[in-house]
Amino acid sequence: MAAAAAAAASASPSMASSGGDESPSPPKPVLLHGDLDLWVLEARLLPNMDMFSEHIRRCFASCGTASSCAPRQPPPSSRGVGEAGSRRHHHRRIITSDPYVTLSVAGAVVARTAVIPNSQEPTWEEQFFVPLAHRATVLEFQVKDNDTFGAQLIGTASVPADRVVAAAEEVEEWVPIVGPSGKTYKPRTALCIRYRFRPFAANPVYRRGIPGDPDQQGVKDSYFPLRHGGKVTLYQDAHVNEGDLPDVQLERGKKFEHNQCWEDICHAILEAHHMIYIVGWSIYDKVKLVREPSSSRPLPEGGNLTLGDLLKFKSQEGVRVCLLVWDDKTSHDKLFIKTVRHYYLTVLPLISLLSLAIYIGNVPGCI
């Protein structure tokens, strides 16, 4: 019996340690590849994040009351309302949070609601169509308080990604809001959302492609409608020396012509007569577009200028120059000033700068 007891005693620590090691494994990331139909409906029992402002308001209100020589009588129309009416009138003047909601998937903000001023029971009723191609474990709905000096996080409502993938039909639920400390404010503090996920494989638009659309409407849900006469040019790289790339044979005996991306951009800017519209992830105005002038394609006047000087040169000719710089996460904010860091142009912004924007400046009557 003593040996059995000793064996049991020696076995118990190992059993305890093995049992302690059996902690729940973290959820695995799920590929969210498809379209998310999302409705951010309302929130309830949000905390007041503006208590300091409310205390200041009450302090000034009490000082103003104390400095008056005689108590003010209520106007005749408000007499007889009673104590309940006075409380209701006072409640309307309380300063409280100005909430809004952002949806983050794998660290990227993909949706944002409007700001509801001065409300702890906000109602948004906003719908979003969110294309997703993200690998994530949860969808984070961050409820924030909009302030003059930025935003303050109220709490986060999290929905597991595997639950979203399984939502073939509309799902409406109240998701608890957890504060930054990891604790809930009140048992019923929550965010009400409705969502439905449609996978990539279940969308007929992706299966048949744009040419297979019977309505011939081009890319659906885009900002600009389908227009004729557009041109798309494919490039191997931003700059390639002549003769470095091999020949590419196309159908019907045609040969793919390797163009010089940077030179095409420069010529497109110089030949624009009405408008230059540049869209880029980031735009570096001191870059020189043409580094090695081609003997077969001489540059017109102004071709040796930097991008910034080239745009100023065209604006002095009467050409309208428009810039749209993407406000991405590399942007940083200073007090009352929003600035954007400048980076060198890479292939993607160069292609968008040329093909998407500048070419239309040569179309007569384009506005």
- What is the per-residue pLDDT across 229-261, written as a single tens digit (0 to 9) for each? 888 888 888 888 877 888 888 888 888 888 888
pLDDT band at 58 (very low <50, low <70, confident <90, very high): low
Does 3.40.50.300 match the CATH number of domain 28-57+94-227?
Answer: no
**What CA–CA distance (Å, rounded) separates 102 from 42?**
13
**Both tokens of residue 174?**
């109240």
Task: Return the pLDDT at 274.
Answer: 93
- 104, β-bridge pairs: 109, 140
Average pLDDT (91-95) is: 62
pLDDT band at 24 (very low <50, low <70, confident <90, very high): low
Best-predicted range by mean pLDDT (198-202, 299-303, 317-321): 317-321
Best-predicted range by mean pLDDT (177-181, 285-289, 320-324, 351-355): 177-181
Task: Return the pLDDT at 50.
Answer: 67
Instruction: Give the dihedral sign, CA 290/295/296/298.
Output: positive
**216 against 287, higher pLDDT:** 287
Q: How many CB atoms lie within 10 A of CB 96?
A: 19
Q: How far apart are the first and last CA of the chain?
A: 96
Task: Return the pLDDT at 152.
Answer: 92
**What CA–CA distance (Å, rounded) separates 161 from 31?**
8
Put simply, whether the predicted model's pTM sits higher than 0.75 gets the answer no
Share of the chain above pLDDT 70, in %: 69
Residues 104-127: b if buried by 16+ CB within 10 A, e if exposed: bbbeeebbebebbeeebebebeee
Share of the chain above pLDDT 90, in %: 35
Annotated domain spans of the chain: 28-57+94-227, 248-325
Task: Return the pLDDT at 291.
Answer: 76
**88 against 303, higher pLDDT:** 303
pLDDT tens for each residue of 278-303: 887 777 888 888 877 777 777 777 77
Task: Return the pLDDT at 353.
Answer: 43
Nearest to 263 by CA among 313, 303, 233, 234: 303
